[in-house]
């Protein structure tokens, strides 16, 4: 399973990269705004800064919502760095744009996916990644992990190359459940990734090993 971090915060990206388990980054307009990144120049510079830190794919989302504008914006984003994946919303114009990018060999991430039917359209259009939002479905009392299972099953049935990117991951159990189901990638905040480290028996066990070692050394 590939681990992507879902943030535009350079410190969090550096920290995840330093752990040695990071495979990529996803961003969205809200995450960019949270970091105070504004204006085309500023946004493009920030994407370049992210690409310079991470060794893997970096999703950069288009703001445009019409085919022509998405194509223009996506092509410009793709020019920033080879690592850029053009993130396109799951709307009619978006599916057309994904099809266009796919024919041009530009990587895409179909975002804001909340149903298996939408995921099927993304795969047929040739998306590199499809992003079902697990946490946001859970927020409205719909089982987000169940959607991952449905999409993985459908993609396996037909051998679609589109990678299932479990997005809107909120906590370690989401990661484990999506991994059990065979999601190709997960994206979540640094806190969800680092929470995977935690187990009280590890802490207790290490404390005992170190204490025993110290005791033996003093004999």
For the annotated catalytic residues, the residue numbers are: 87
User: Residue 130 forms beta bridges with which residues?
Assistant: 110, 164
Q: How near is the Cβ of 5 to ligand E4P at its closest, in Å?
A: 10
User: Residue 3 forms beta bridges with which residues?
Assistant: 186
Residues touching ligand E4P: how many (CB under 6 A)?
11
User: Residue 111 forms beta bridges with which residues?
Assistant: 89
Q: How near is the Cβ of 131 to ligand E4P at its closest, in Å?
A: 5
Tell me the three state secondary structure of residue 97: helix
- Residue 28 is a binding residue for ligand E4P (CB under 6 A): yes
- Residue 167 is a binding residue for ligand E4P (CB under 6 A): yes
Tokens matching residue 99: 């099809």
Radius of gyration over alpha carbons of the chain, in Å? 19
- Of residues 2, 48, 96, 136, which one binds ligand E4P by CB under 6 A? 136
Question: x-or-dash pattern for ligand E4P, window 93-132, by CB under 6 A?
Answer: ------------------x-------------------x-
Q: Which are the contacts of 199, defined by CB distance < 8 A and separation ≥ 6?
A: none
Residue found by looking up tokens 């681990």 in the block:
3
Tell me the three state secondary structure of residue 73: helix
Q: How near is the Cβ of 190 to ligand E4P at its closest, in Å?
A: 12
Interface with ligand E4P (CB under 6 A):
6, 26, 28, 111, 131, 133, 135-136, 167-168, 187
């Amino acid at each position: 399973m590939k681990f992507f971090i879902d943030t535009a915060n350079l410190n969090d990206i550096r920290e995840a990269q330093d752990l040695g388990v990071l495979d990529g980054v996803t961003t969205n307009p809200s995450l960019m705004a949270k970091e105070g990144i504004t204006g085309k120049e500023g946004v493009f510079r920030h994407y370049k800064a992210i690409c310079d830190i991470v060794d893997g794919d970096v999703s950069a989302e288009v703001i445009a919502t019409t085919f022509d504008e998405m194509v223009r914006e996506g092509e410009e984003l793709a020019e920033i760095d080879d690592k850029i994946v053009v993130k396109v919303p799951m709307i009619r114009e978006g599916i057309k744009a994904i099809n266009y990018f796919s024919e041009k060999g530009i990587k895409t991430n179909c975002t804001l996916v909340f149903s298996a039917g939408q995921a099927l359209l993304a795969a047929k259009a040739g998306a590199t990644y499809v992003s079902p939002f697990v946490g946001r479905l859970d927020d409205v009392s719909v089982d987000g992990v169940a959607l991952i299972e449905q999409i993985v099953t459908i993609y396996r049935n037909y051998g679609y190359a589109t990678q299932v990117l479990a997005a809107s991951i909120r906590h370690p159990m989401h990661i484990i459940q999506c991994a059990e189901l065979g999601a190709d990638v997960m994206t979540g905040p640094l806190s969800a990734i680092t929470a995977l480290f935690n187990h009280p028996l590890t802490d207790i066990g290490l404390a005992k090993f170190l204490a025993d070692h110290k005791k033996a050394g003093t004999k």
